Amino acid sequence: MTDELTIKGFRLFPGYLDRTAQEALVADLRGVLAMAPLYQPVTPRGKPMSVRMSAAGRFGWVTDRRGYRYEPKHPEGMEWPPIPASVLSIWDTLSGCARQPECCLINWYAEGARMGLHQDKDEADFAAPVLSVSLGDEGLFRMGNVERGGQTTSHWLKSGDVVVMGGAARLAHHGVDRIRFGSSSLLPNGGRINLTLRVVT
Ligand SMILES: O=C(O)CCC(=O)C(=O)O
Ligand SMILES: [Mn+2]
């Protein structure tokens, strides 16, 4: 564990998942995406996001013209599949949280995709941390502050890295500036997968 990103409550576990565990996770995610396909999210102002999304769990985080929110169903109407046990076990080991995650958001970054600085704040209980898993190509993760603006620090997240944002970092602004397309051999056609686990209620 390192603390290169200095905000309290930000914990990085570099290389937490070895190659075998990463491959098993990808296989489980393919199963999820076969039931709940990636779709194109649109911001409340109508701008298509560059990432594509799906989810597993009781709720999926969605965005469209009606706003940011959690929904019990995929935009195409199906239930979200359960969160795979392989994903839950990462949470159980690293989150330090007695509650189980209710949403596993799946973000897919193709070449050129990014995610602007934002806070994760659509949940009811900020005492629970957010845990995120990186798979595939490296992503340049930027960590800011709870208030808008100020200094930020950046770190390349690699395949198998896990980040936990709790405490002061729970509501800090963060985003992904870019990916290094083709930097990992995990996914045959390149790209980055990020899983974000959250307690919702
Ligand atoms: O892709 C990442 O590493 C971060 C994703 C994220 O912040 C989110 O989905 O809220
Ligand atoms: Mn986020």
10-198 has which fold?
Answer: Jelly Rolls (2.60.120)
| Ligand 1 near 54 CB (within 6 A) | no
Residue 82 pLDDT = 98
Check residue 8 and give its pLDDT. Answer: 86
pTM over 0.75: yes
| Average pLDDT for runs of 10 along the chain of length 201 | 68 98 98 98 97 98 97 98 98 97 98 97 97 98 94 96 97 98 97 98 97
137 neighbors 176 (Cβ within 8 angstroms): no
Question: Tens of pLDDT along 74-95?
Answer: 999 999 999 999 999 999 999 9
Which ligand gives the minimal distance to the CA of 132? 1
Most informative mutation of 49, 115, 154, 198 for ligand 1 (most atoms within 8 A of CB): 115
Q: What angle do CA 167, 146, 57 make, to 5 degrees?
A: 60
Cα(172) to centroid of ligand 1, in Å?
12
**Which residue pairs from 9-12 have beta carbons closer than 8 angstroms and sit at least 24 positions apart in sequence?**
9/129, 9/165, 9/166, 9/167, 9/168, 9/169, 9/170, 10/143, 10/163, 10/164, 10/165, 10/169, 10/172, 11/94, 11/163, 11/164, 11/165, 11/166, 12/155, 12/161, 12/162, 12/163
- Pocket of ligand 1 contains residue 196 by CB under 6 Å: yes
Beta carbon of 194 within 6 Å of any ligand 1 atom: yes
Which ligand places an atom closest to the C-alpha of 114? Answer: 1
Q: Where are the domains of the chain?
A: 10-198
